């Protein structure tokens, strides 16, 4: 029996090149089969290189602690650009010691503003007829006169960029630098470009498209140039020679700019590429740029210039066509078999000037590509041929699609061959951490749909949908989905960064009111205080703390939490919400009319006040955890008690009946412990069961109630009813979408009607993750894995609860989660009427097994 260290990481980075922390906390996971092994102490070895061949003496730091997640940096702080090599070793309570871990490099980026000598340079502003900015090319030739030891490129843009050195692409990021609240926070990327340089003549080139910085964003036509109307780049190449001398090639007024074959590239409308306009070798040293234009120097960014906290967006998968066919109107349609986010790469040849168009949609309607759900988004890529064969894919746009209509393909049949096309799948390159499967194929497909929906909507920020004229960071969506997301992938870096954007905009721009979308690009009239959506400021940092065990999430967001509570408008002489406020409520309750998604069964102010009571109580817990002043803790404790009293007086009858009496209201009040007595809560549990039966097990909840209805049925002794709802196939239900061929989660329970027509509402997406929030219940109850809340400190999966509850027609289930301490798994099956379970707990954590009788609920 043995224990080993499987990985060493820093802060919440998946990659540790160019990080923004000078004293990064260190974490390691364990592998091994030793029973009840706990760490007693650890050693950290730090080597700081004088050069790549000669290392400084190694320093070893020994700490008596069982901590292995986010332990303090034990040495002096890293300086800008400094690199160190880290290894970890752990000793157990039984005095066994692991081998040293593999050596892992960590390197600081440019930690101070004065580290930047580069200037922000802009290209000539060329506006297309569609009012978009034409992507621009930037270049600079330079000479390297010595042997190179190492080289780094630090770069960002106003827009989205691709960088090249000597004609080769730098890194594998796409849509860099991603989308942040550009007014406040702009990230730069660090690349190791040592292998791309050579002694002699060299050249750096950068192509920049408008992306989120300049492009059209938002619905109802949206707005352009929200952050600025100039495509610009900030680049600093630093070359260290073997002699120790340093060459810096920084963007300045000696750079040149021009335009290439990409005529336009918009996030919503797609890319137009004219191959006849290709500028061969533009990013190589031999290219002559005397006819290129001078660049214009812009003011250095006022926003914080930061290293990213989360991983970049990358090309993650490729899919081949599942089928190529003709529609009833004789259009050529390609089916990739999966609703995905990305674009199509194609190989084609044809006469010069021949134009091919690709129209991307998520579904078909009556056999034709369904473009109506895209609203004003064209989702169309156009390729104009040059007469020679070309392999092409867009680079500054993305689409949400399964189907592509291809018009004017240059072949005898007018259709491409399957080998001519492939779909490129993109999303933020988060570490996969969650897996789930059962004996029921449709449940497995549901879980796969949840996972694919998350992938497509985690493109830089957590968005609502990836296909139409929206793709925004709606706060309510991630608030309900974060527990599921944090299980499936390591979201810690990405969501930590997004929450900081939220805090900046809320506090600095909106007087404490949380915008409904972050980064905020919608009209001010839509950013009035909004329950559920605004409550992300309190609930999601708490979710992050529980998932990853990092108190810093709470510390970082505490001002945001308190500012939100202070900004909520209250009723006269009350702590409850002002009843004149507009509330979205249980958004997309299936009973709401297609054109009025906020008009569900449950009073929206009931929802707002249930959430307000909950987040106030939660803030009391957080303030106590952070050891805030006692009077501050007492304030939130007293407010929570007063709110619960007012909530009871307003919404709970003496018999325990709720007004309103819905699945959502009962699930909320029970989940948030709002009933004044156990008897009334017991009555509510029975009432919820009655409503579920009377609905014939069809779902009757929207964004608010859906994450809670199955957990509430489970906690009130009605888990078999939860299974019955899960397995229902008639609309509205989770498996209805599966029965209709869905490969992602839908925005509406009936985004597509049983006859194959699309919901008549103007807001209909086939890739929204909010209703996939049932995934948290699948993992915790069906699979049996959750964080133990009762036994000591379970946050960050330190103590794991193994408590599967079999039900329905399922005869087996298995789930795994790669947590901060290592791999956790729970697998159960029923054979010959006997329940059998096997579990896995990583070293330095522990598990608590709780088994309930199947028929006991």
User: In whole angstroms, what is the distance from residue 686 CA to residue 515 CA?
Assistant: 38
How buried is residue 560: exposed, middle or buried, by Cβ count under 10 Å (0-12/13-18/19+)?
buried
DSSP H helices in 384-436: none
Per the annotation, the verdict on 470 as an active-site residue is yes
Query: Is residue 837 within a helix (H) or strand (E), and if so which, with residue range?
Result: strand 834-840
Residue holding tokens 């790469």? 345
Please give the Cα distance from 279 to 262 (Å, whole number).
11
Distance CA 842, CA 826 (A): 12
Strand ranges, E, within 417-497: 421-428, 434-438, 458-459, 461-462
Cβ of 780: how many Cβ atoms within 10 Å? 23
Nearest alpha-carbon partner for 209 in 231, 239, 238, 178: 231
Cβ(784)–Cβ(825) below 8 Å: no
Residue from 506, 556, 512, 544 nearest 184 by CA:
506
Long-range Cβ contact pairs of 822-830 (< 8 A, separation 24 or more): 822/6, 822/29, 822/30, 822/31, 823/31, 824/785, 824/797, 824/800, 825/785, 826/783, 826/784, 826/785, 826/802, 828/784, 828/804, 829/439, 830/806
Contacts of 853 (CB under 8 A, 6+ apart): none
CA-based max dimension of the chain: 86
CA distance 411 to 231: 38
364 three-class SS: strand
Mapping DSSP onto H, E and C, the string for 515-552 reads CCECCCCCCHHHCCCCCCCCCHHHHHHHHHHHHHCCCH
Both tokens assigned to 58: 């190694």
Q: Hey, how many other C-beta atoms are within 10 angstroms of the C-beta on 434? A: 24
Q: By C-alpha distance, which of 637, 631, 705 is closest to 668?
A: 705
User: Given 162, 207, 440, 747, which residue is catalytic?
Assistant: 747
Determine which one of 470, 505, 728, 827 is catalytic: 470
Across 23-39, b (16+ Cβ under 10 Å) vs e yields ebbbbbbbebeeeebbb
Question: How far apart are the C-alpha atoms of 440 and 437, rounded to whole Å?
Answer: 8
**Among 841, 848, 779, 839, CA closest to 815:** 779
Q: Which residues pair with 726 in a beta bridge?
A: none
Q: Are 781 and 708 in contact (CB under 8 A)?
A: no
Angle formed by the axes of helices 441-457 and 475-488, to 10°? 120
Q: Which two tokens stand for residue 238?
A: 């630093």
Contacts of 243 (CB under 8 A, 6+ apart): 146
Beta-bridge partner residues of 341: 400
Name the residue with tokens 């209909």. Answer: 764
| Residues known to be catalytic | 470, 747
């Amino acid at each position: 029996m043995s224990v080993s260290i499987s990985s060493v990481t820093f802060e919440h980075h998946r990659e540790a090149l160019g990080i923004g922390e000078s004293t990064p906390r260190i974490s390691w996971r364990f592998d091994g089969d030793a029973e009840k092994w706990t760490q007693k102490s650890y050693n950290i070895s730090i080597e700081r290189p004088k050069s790549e061949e000669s290392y400084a003496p190694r320093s070893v730091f020994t700490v008596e602690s069982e901590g292995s997640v986010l332990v303090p940096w034990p040495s002096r702080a890293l300086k800008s650009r400094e690199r160190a090599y880290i290894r970890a070793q752990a000793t157990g309570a039984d005095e066994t010691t692991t081998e040293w871990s593999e050596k892992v490099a960590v390197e600081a980026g440019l930690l101070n503003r004065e580290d930047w000598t580069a200037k922000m340079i802009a290209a000539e502003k060329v506006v297309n007829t569609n009012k978009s900015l034409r992507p621009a090319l930037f270049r600079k030739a330079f000479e390297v006169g010595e042997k190179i030891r190492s080289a780094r490129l630090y770069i960002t843009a106003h827009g989205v960029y691709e960088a090249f050195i000597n004609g080769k692409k730098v890194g594998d990021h796409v849509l860099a630098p991603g989308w942040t609240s550009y007014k406040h926070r702009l990230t730069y990327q660090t690349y190791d470009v040592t292998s791309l340089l050579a002694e002699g003549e060299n050249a750096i080139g950068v192509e920049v498209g408008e992306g989120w910085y300049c492009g059209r964003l938002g619905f109802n036509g949206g707005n352009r140039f929200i952050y600025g109307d100039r495509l610009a780049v900030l680049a600093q190449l630093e070359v260290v020679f073997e002699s120790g001398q340093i060459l810096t090639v920084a963007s300045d007024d000696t750079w040149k700019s021009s335009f290439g074959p990409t005529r336009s590239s918009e996030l919503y409308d797609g890319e137009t590429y004219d191959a006849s306009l290709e500028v061969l070798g533009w990013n190589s040293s031999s290219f002559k740029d005397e006819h290129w234009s001078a660049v214009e120097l812009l003011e250095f960014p006022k926003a914080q210039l930061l290293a990213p906290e989360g991983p970049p967006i990358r090309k993650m998968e490729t899919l081949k066509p599942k089928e190529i066919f003709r529609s009833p109107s004789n259009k050529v349609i390609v089916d990739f078999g999966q609703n995905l986010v990305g674009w199509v790469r194609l190989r084609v040849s044809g006469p010069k000037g021949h134009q091919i168009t690709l129209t991307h949609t998520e579904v078909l309607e009556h056999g034709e590509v369904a473009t109506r759900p895209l609203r004003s988004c064209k989702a169309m890529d156009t390729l104009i041929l040059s007469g020679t064969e070309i392999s092409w894919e867009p680079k500054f746009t993305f689409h949400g699609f399964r189907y592509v209509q291809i018009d004017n393909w240059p072949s005898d049949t007018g259709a491409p061959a399957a080998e001519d096309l492939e779909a490129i799948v993109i999303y933020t390159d988060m570490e996969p951490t969650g897996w789930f499967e059962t004996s029921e194929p449709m449940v497995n497909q549901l879980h796969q749909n949840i996972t694919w929906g998350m992938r497509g909507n985690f493109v830089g920020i957590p968005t609502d949908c990836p296909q139409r004229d929206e793709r925004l960071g709606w706060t309510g969506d991630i608030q309900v989905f974060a527990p599921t997301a944090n299980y499936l992938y390591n979201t810690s870096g990405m969501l930590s960064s997004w929450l900081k954007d939220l805090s900046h905009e809320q506090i600095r721009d909106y007087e404490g009111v949380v915008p409904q979308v972050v980064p905020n690009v919608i009209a001010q009239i839509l950013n009035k205080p909004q329950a559920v959506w605004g409550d992300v400021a309190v609930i999601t940092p708490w979710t992050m703390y529980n998932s990853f065990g990092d108190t810093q999430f709470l510390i970082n967001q505490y001002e945001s939490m308190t500012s939100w509570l202070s900004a909520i408008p209250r009723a006269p002489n009350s702590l409850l919400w002002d009843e004149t406020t507009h509330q979205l409520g249980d958004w997309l309750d299936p009973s709401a009319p297609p054109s009025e998604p906020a008009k569900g069964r449950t009073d929206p102010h009931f929802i707002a006040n249930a959430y307000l009571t909950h987040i106030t109580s939660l803030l009391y817990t957080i303030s106590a955890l952070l050891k805030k002043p006692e009077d501050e803790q007492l304030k939130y404790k007293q407010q929570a008690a007063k709110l619960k009293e007012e909530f009871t007086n307003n919404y709970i009858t003496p018999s325990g009946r709720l007004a309103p009496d819905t699945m959502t209201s009962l699930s909320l009040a029970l989940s948030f412990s709002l009933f004044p007595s156990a008897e009334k809560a017991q009555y509510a549990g029975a009432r919820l069961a009655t409503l579920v039966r009377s609905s014939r097990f069809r779902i009757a909840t929207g964004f608010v109630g859906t994450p809670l209805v199955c957990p509430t049925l489970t906690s009130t002794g009605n888990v078999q009813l939860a299974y019955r709802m899960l397995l229902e196939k008639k609309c509205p239900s989770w498996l209805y979408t599966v029965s209709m061929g869905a490969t992602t989660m839908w925005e509406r329970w009936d985004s597509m009607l049983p006859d194959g027509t699309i919901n008549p509402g103007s807001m209909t997406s086939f890739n929204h993750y909010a209703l996939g929030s049932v995934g948290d219940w699948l993992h915790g109850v069906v699979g049996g894995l959750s964080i133990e809340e009762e036994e000591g400190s379970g946050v960050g999966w330190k103590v794991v609860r193994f408590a599967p509850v079999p039900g329905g027609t399922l005869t087996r289930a298995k789930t795994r989660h790669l947590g901060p301490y290592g791999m956790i798994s729970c697998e159960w099956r029923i054979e010959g009427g006997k329940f059998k379970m096997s579990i896995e707990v990583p070293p330095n954590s522990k598990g608590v097994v709780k088994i309930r009788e199947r028929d006991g609920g």
